[in-house]
Chains A and B, each alone.
Chain A
């Protein structure tokens, strides 16, 4: 019999559940594991003020730019229906001291919960209603501000003020309709600066900014559909032109489950491009956890009788232990050895690429017991910290057998009871189910435990705010000015023949209205404008930094000038490059800097014969295409803006071909 190797176990468990990478995965793989996912898309609204106070929105500061700090602790309270929320109790266990950094420029006494809320910002409400209508939601008759408890401290009140504007809507993707559960308007949370041990530090600059959350049903059955839905909702939000763009202004929570698994929320996904890998790995993680559950239930017929045992280890008791256990002793931490009966092969079972079940325990020790990593070592580490002979000694202390797994964990003595409870609790869950939890996302597509998933028991009516009635005329007024839906925009662009590779850019920058207004106002072909914006402007934006006064209106006006001067659209690119940096520069001056001279087509064509002769003399190539390219290169600059380069090329070709 081969000796047990954690690495081999990791590999073989990975094979047993038939894990495939995102790139290899087919629709069949997702059907096999029962992939199901939904989205919660958060989008900041572009208002001047915050939602419930009159502080300016969108003014951010560095971690150390603060005027004062306030400390708070959070206690769980009852929900409206008289229940304590699970997350709340977990957060209370962690006993965190929360420090808020306040900058007078963007925070007032409301942010630190020393003043009740002021009336909800009406502009934010109108924008959110506009987006609700675009999502085809049933609009509520009266907006009720609700408190949604967050005991992690991300909001100093301990709850987020949030209100539903509509329920039961839908969006139309390329292949299916996705149903929307609800849309809420809410205040944004603090930004975390650090979270070490029992102290968490936040800054309050973003806190209170108006945000909407669009929640879909779990209708997406592959990671690709999920990504498409996320993009669609982002484009829909942006189609109003009234939402914030830029880093952090739109964030997704991704709800994923596999067949038989549980709803797990992957939080704060900052880039839509991360969505496929994150959801893929999460579904497979759940699939792996179900496999672990089956193994455990196979081995242990009566899980209620399963119990781990633990013992404190004193320095020297088991001989010299390696780092970081030695360091733990040196730092006066308590070290405990744990025996997990009949749990061999479990700790090194594959869960995510490069991660094993033991990571689930270690993550929880960090979050719930507040013990910084490394906080444990175990008998099935892929890269062992502790030698086999040392584990042998520990196993004799624990009276552990060959089929058991062992853990060494350490931390400040006062955190040990919570730590032991945390491991026991997670192991008990392993017999039963995939725990409902929220997980933090990483760029490599893996996730780690963040919190127990909060339920509806954390909702409480906001006794500080009165309900806001939404009247029909207000809704109809907004409805009458709605932009076209994103799916209609895509259909139109196809009709116009705008190449598909430009859609993503055009929709994400909300350039569609610009295409419409330029073609309607100045009679340009929408296809030409689409190409100009989707290729040329994208290139300019990607390579240069815009002047702060630059706006889309400048592009609109530029095209108006080009039409009025009877110039060709080709000059728009070079001119825009200048305007992008100097938005106030006069068009004539730009043309001068570009050495542009207004010329008739004959004047541009005049040197063709001369150039052709020159080409023939130098005999660069026999190829006629080569001759055309060379001649075009010589006259392009003078032609740009004066004549269509496509038409010009045809004329040159005709002349050269005539010679052949």
Chain B
């Protein structure tokens, strides 16, 4: 009960509220050594100090009052705010495709959380329609909150739940599936679902937002509109990530779930397809294909759900002069699979060789990926590469390190046999290793050069 009345307050601040009998949401007149302040006492974030009260003053602003300056305080009224996205019944129509939206806890629709002072997700079809009414012009949406975790807390357990839920919805006849997801590990989940859900008859679209939906310039609404279109009307039946193409409010990209990566901590256009082009672009009005080969939408429900994962996999980011005990300790702790993220074409220092041999002898599967993000592992070029292959390190082509980690967990979830694991790892499910890298698969242009500057000025990207 006290929690409710004094939401978020503790220590000295809580004592002060109790002493003067003032509640959160109570209107208060506070006399302090710095003068008189009037306003409504707001909840306080748990992580902030216990020296201040938060007050919303008449003009709508919030201020903090240091409790040690307070000489007297009086509650003069009470009005609790009711923060709620207006719920409107989502208008269903028979002529529109039906899309299932799974919530995992991203920022597609969110509201303020006083406990942490951050935003927390909130959605139901009604709330979504209230916030983004355009969705009803695209498809019918059903929602289901599978879990409410932040992106960084998503893991194998959630991948498996999601994969099974997707199978269930396909069985139920959904025309497309959208998964709302925090952006930090969106690409990990996209990779996991690419492996766990195969032979898809309908699109599975992962979507998030880089700016929370509580701000007017949020990318959430447009991303959701694009995702709805791709899921409901798109003909690409694959696991894809749908996020902003350019940072401008323009078109979205559909990225193949195995080739996509978050490349900037805060840009809207953070997700990029690595080593290839995106599959398509999407706007409110339709999808434009970029890649010609894709898995087309089908009428059947013959999806293959492979919800396996063994968490005894780790990743080792190599740095110069790394000591063998790092690798040894992973092996000693019982890890069955290790993804090495090596330098250049896929290299480690010689000092690690004994540790590699030891890992191989203990039956641990060790694979090589790249810190360069772009390009292929080429272990035949230099002697060191050849040495390592002899010690059991398997190059993974141009598989992204995070994707390799996910796939290795998925492979080990199916078999303990290193030979079979190797076989699974090297056989692409959906382009996690591509046979060729097109010339336009690596486009990281640098500013300051005339032609690049001309391009940036001319096109609003």
Distance in Å: Cβ of B82 to nearest Cβ of chain A: 5
Is A71 among interface residues, defined by CB-CB distance under 8 A? Answer: yes
Flag if A146 contacts B61 (CB, 8 Å): yes
- Knowing A142-B52, A164-B63, A463-B117, the reply to whether A71 touches B250 (Cβ < 8 A) is yes
Is B249 among interface residues, defined by CB-CB distance under 8 A? Answer: yes
Residues on A with C-beta less than 8 A from B218 are 75, 77
Q: Interface stretch among B95-103, B209-217, B230-238, B330-338? A: B209-217
Flag if B81 contacts A82 (CB, 8 Å): yes
What CA separation (Å) do A137 and B57 show in the bound complex? 14
- Knowing A68-B457, A159-B216, the reply to whether A138 touches B36 (Cβ < 8 A) is yes
Flag if B447 contacts A141 (CB, 8 Å): no
Is A199 among interface residues, defined by CB-CB distance under 8 A? Answer: no
Flag if B59 contacts A142 (CB, 8 Å): no
Residues on B with C-beta less than 8 A from A158 are 215-217
Given A68-B456, A456-B59, 4 extra CB contacts under 8 A:
A68-B457, A69-B248, A74-B217, A144-B62
Q: Which of B35, B83, B117, B447 contacts A81 (CB 8 A)?
A: B83
Q: Interface stretch among B64-72, B181-189, B306-314, B355-363? A: B64-72
Residues on B with C-beta less than 8 A from A156 are 217
Residues on A with C-beta less than 8 A from B248 are 69-72
Flag if A469 contacts B460 (CB, 8 Å): no
Residues on B with C-beta less than 8 A from A184 are 61
Is A519 among interface residues, defined by CB-CB distance under 8 A? Answer: no
What CA separation (Å) do A113 and B219 show in the bound complex? 11
- Interface on A for B, CB 8 Å cutoff? 66-82, 84, 88, 99, 104, 109, 112-116, 137-144, 146-149, 151, 156-159, 162-164, 167-168, 181-182, 184, 215, 455-461, 463, 466-467, 469
Flag if B453 contacts A67 (CB, 8 Å): yes
Residues on A with C-beta less than 8 A from B49 are 469
Residues on B with C-beta less than 8 A from A67 are 453, 456-457
Within 8 A of A (CB), among B11-41: 32, 34-37
- Interface on B for A, CB 8 Å cutoff? 32, 34-37, 48-49, 51-52, 54, 56-66, 69, 81-86, 111-112, 117-119, 210-218, 221-222, 247-250, 264, 266-268, 447, 453, 456-457, 460-461
- Knowing A77-B213, A167-B57, A463-B112, the reply to whether A142 touches B65 (Cβ < 8 A) is yes
Residues on A with C-beta less than 8 A from B66 are 141-142, 469
Residues on B with C-beta less than 8 A from A69 are 248, 457, 460
Flag if B85 contacts A78 (CB, 8 Å): yes
Residues on A with C-beta less than 8 A from B217 are 72, 74, 113, 156-158
Flag if B216 contacts A141 (CB, 8 Å): no
Chain B: CB-nearest residue to A169: B35
Distance in Å: Cβ of A161 to nearest Cβ of chain B: 11
Q: Which of B60, B61, B213 contacts A455 (CB 8 A)?
A: B60
- Knowing A115-B266, A463-B212, the reply to whether A71 touches B57 (Cβ < 8 A) is no
What CA separation (Å) do A67 and B449 show in the bound complex? 12
Flag if B215 contacts A162 (CB, 8 Å): no
Residues on A with C-beta less than 8 A from B82 are 81-82
What CA separation (Å) do A215 and B266 show in the bound complex? 35
Distance in Å: Cβ of A143 to nearest Cβ of chain B: 7
Flag if A168 contacts B216 (CB, 8 Å): no
Residues on B with C-beta less than 8 A from A140 are 34, 37, 63-65
What CA separation (Å) do A148 and B216 show in the bound complex? 11
Flag if A457 contacts B453 (CB, 8 Å): no
Flag if B83 contacts A71 (CB, 8 Å): no
Flag if A463 contacts B64 (CB, 8 Å): no
Q: Which of A80, A138, A147 contacts B35 (CB 8 A)?
A: A138
Q: Which of B48, B63, B86, B249 contacts A71 (CB 8 A)?
A: B249
What CA separation (Å) do A496 and B247 show in the bound complex? 61
What CA separation (Å) do A538 and B57 show in the bound complex? 44
Flag if A74 contacts B83 (CB, 8 Å): no
Distance in Å: Cβ of B17 to nearest Cβ of chain A: 15
A-B contact pairs, 22 of them (CB 8 A): A67-B453, A68-B457, A75-B218, A77-B218, A78-B85, A81-B81, A82-B81, A115-B267, A138-B34, A138-B37, A139-B35, A141-B52, A142-B66, A157-B215, A157-B217, A164-B62, A164-B63, A456-B59, A459-B62, A463-B117, A467-B64, A469-B64
Distance in Å: Cβ of B14 to nearest Cβ of chain A: 16
What CA separation (Å) do A164 and B54 show in the bound complex? 12
Chain B: CB-nearest residue to A168: B35
What CA separation (Å) do A72 and B244 show in the bound complex? 12
Chain A: CB-nearest residue to B221: A75
Flag if A74 contacts B64 (CB, 8 Å): no
Q: Which of A138, A159, A456, A466 contacts B48 (CB 8 A)?
A: A466
Flag if A80 contacts B112 (CB, 8 Å): yes
Distance in Å: Cβ of B167 to nearest Cβ of chain A: 35
Chain B: CB-nearest residue to A140: B63
What CA separation (Å) do A466 and B460 show in the bound complex? 33
Residues on A with C-beta less than 8 A from B57 are 164, 167, 182
- Knowing A115-B266, A167-B37, the reply to whether A88 touches B69 (Cβ < 8 A) is no
Residues on B with C-beta less than 8 A from A181 are 59
What CA separation (Å) do A137 and B212 show in the bound complex? 35
Residues on A with C-beta less than 8 A from B37 are 138, 140, 167
Residues on B with C-beta less than 8 A from A137 are 35
- Knowing A70-B248, A142-B64, A456-B60, the reply to whether A463 touches B119 (Cβ < 8 A) is yes
Interface centre among B37, B82, B215 (most CB of A within 10 A): B215
What CA separation (Å) do A75 and B84 show in the bound complex? 17
Residues on A with C-beta less than 8 A from B210 are 114
What CA separation (Å) do A115 and B111 show in the bound complex? 20
Chain A: CB-nearest residue to B218: A75
Residues on A with C-beta less than 8 A from B250 are 71
What CA separation (Å) do A67 and B213 show in the bound complex? 29
What CA separation (Å) do A164 and B64 show in the bound complex? 10
- Knowing A104-B447, A159-B216, the reply to whether A70 touches B81 (Cβ < 8 A) is no
Flag if A467 contacts B61 (CB, 8 Å): no
Distance in Å: Cβ of A495 to nearest Cβ of chain B: 31
Flag if B61 contacts A459 (CB, 8 Å): yes
What CA separation (Å) do A158 and B266 show in the bound complex? 17
Chain A: CB-nearest residue to B266: A115
What CA separation (Å) do A116 and B264 show in the bound complex? 12
Q: Which of B213, B221, B247 contacts A114 (CB 8 A)?
A: B247
